[in-house]
Structure 1
Amino acid sequence: MGQRRSPLGVADLERVAARGWRALEEEPLGDWLLRAGGGFTGRANSVLVAGDPGLPLADAVDAVGRWYAERGIAPCAQLPGVQARAADAAFAAAGWARDEDVHVLTAPLTAPPAPDVPVDLSPVPDDAWLAGYRHRGRPLPPTAREVLVNAERVAFASVRLAPAPAPLAAVGRGVLVDGWLGVSAVTVAEEHRRQGLATAVMAALQRWAGEHDAHSVYLQVTTSNAPARTLYRRAGFIEHHRYHYRRLPG
């Protein structure tokens, strides 16, 4: 395992996370980062509001709206931590609606025991993995594969409890950026929940990251996902910060 490092600030950790879940098109607006990924996920299709946009906030909000409208994507802004309060107020004043909070959780990377069930890791997601990942409970759009693999070092975890063509029991995605393991897309099939499969996926990804000298792990979970928050709290994760999205209605 890599050595423990000093914690990152909110903006720096969000920039690490942005590199771990990269959009297909990115453009700076001052310190802000405009991102477009064909509409797949809020992170890949929102402006990361961190730092100074180089414009008065009201003008920056208008510029963000135009950028997404030109691409046929619903305008969206990601606003992390208390540092984004002034910008958040500017988006609110322009009529952008607020989503629920997302908790960013972190923990030192540990050396977990080998999972109780076999977990396969691959640098690319196959069709079974893509079918097993239900983003917000829905099938994935065509651009999903491009976004998912758009990283320097990524691993796709799969748990198969029955021979193909039976669907996978669980999946997850891990990505390494500057010693940080980002875990996302952890999905357990409904009929296999409460069997420790999410824990097995997490353990496999942490062991993989440790082999590449990672030192810390982060993940995101919505306020409404109480079971996942409980699982991660028991695993030693603590809250680093929160963020929310604002979207322009219509």
Structure 2
Amino acid sequence: MRIDSPGLTTDLDLLRLQGSTVTDHGDHLVVRTPANPTFWWGNFLLVPTAARSDEVERWTSRFVAELPDAHHRAIAFTQPGGDTEAWAAHGWDVEVDVDLATTSVPAPATAPDGILLRALETDDDWEQSAHVGGSDTPEDRRDGRLVFERRRAAAQRALVESGRARWFGAFDGDRLVANLGIVRLGDLARYQDVVTLESHRRRGIAGALVRAAGEWALEDPAVGRLVIVAEDGGPAIGLYQRAGFAEVARHVGVSRAPSPT
């Protein structure tokens, strides 16, 4: 199945590297991540069209058939637009993602005084990373989210130890307050999981991390383009554009928890 979006193609590459399986059924892909069953976008369908109002039931049924043990529903469409309002009317959350890319090192950015940027290395670094990843989760759901984030951190650490990736953190003293990853995938390098604690946002930390990660990725002469994905209309897009990234593609994801029985 042909996929033109660099965000989606690198998503699939990263999932395969982390042990996911991707099965091509011709008119859709099925992605499964047995090691992390609560990872919605590690267990989903990918459809090479726009979201259509007359196919809500078709793809919902296909998801259930392919992933019967999943406690969620998640379907990605490679094309933007479509009848997303029809999916929303059936209780699905709709997200439009924007792929941005650059062939240059991101614009210079300096972390504020008192913030140290360095690679994640120790067990404590990675445990803190899991807590940062779940920092916006409501208190009553935090324990479950932390299970997911620890599984994800373990997969990220394995990528780092393989030599393909590096995760950078911003530390306020010994406390991790922001982090992101970047993975070299042939001629592309893909940013991952840019997260900053609410207490440390709007201080230039994310921009400094984006710069540091881009510098590292482009040290490899095989890498010719940096790719990052952001939610349409979200605050991150402006930051990435100021860093030198430009939009190259869009795609749609729909997701929801299953209806109670």
Q: How big is the shift at 1:160?
A: 1.2
Q: Which amino acid counterpart does residue 100 of structure 1 have in structure 2?
A: E
Equivalent positions of 1:29-178 (< 5 A) are: 29-31=24-26, 32-37=28-33, 38-50=36-48, 62-69=61-68, 71-82=69-80, 92=87, 97-110=92-105, 113=108, 115-116=110-111, 118-122=116-120, 126-134=126-134, 137=137, 139-142=145-148, 143-149=151-157, 151=159, 153-163=164-174, 167-178=175-186
Change (3 A) 1:241 1:155: same
Aligned residues: 229
Residue 242 (structure 1) aligns with = 250
Picking from 224, 231, 242, the partner of 1:215 is 224
**Gap regions ≥5 residues in structure 2:** 50-54
Unaligned regions of 5+ residues in structure 1, if any? Answer: 1-7, 52-56
Determine helix, strand or coil for the equivalent of 2:209.
helix
* 2:100–2:227 CA contact under 8 A, matched in 1: yes
What secondary structure sits across from 1:10 in the alignment? Answer: coil
CA distance in 2, matches of 1:114, 1:233: 13
Change (3 A) 1:73 1:27: farther
For residues 71-117 of structure 1, the C-alpha deviation after alignment (integer angstroms, 9 at most, x for no partner) is: 334231111224x95xx78x95xx57251212222222326558545
Answer yes or no: is the 8 Å Cα contact 1:123–1:155 preserved in 2.
Answer: no
Identity of aligned residues (%): 17
| Partner deviation per Cα, 1:173-206 (whole Å, 9 max, x = no partner) | 1111122121121122222222211011111111
Question: Which of the residues 206, 211, 222 maps onto 2:214?
Answer: 206
- Cα shift at 1:157: 0.6
| Structure 2 CA distance for partners of 1:13 and 1:102, relative to 1, 3 Å | closer
Asked if structure 2 preserves the Cα contact closer than 8 Å seen for 1:18 and 1:43, the reply is no
Cα distance, 1:16 vs structure 2 = 2.2
Change (3 A) 1:123 1:30: farther
Letter in 2 for 1:14: L
Aligned partner of residue 220 in structure 2, secondary structure: coil
1:20/1:13 CA distance change after superposition, 3 Å:
same
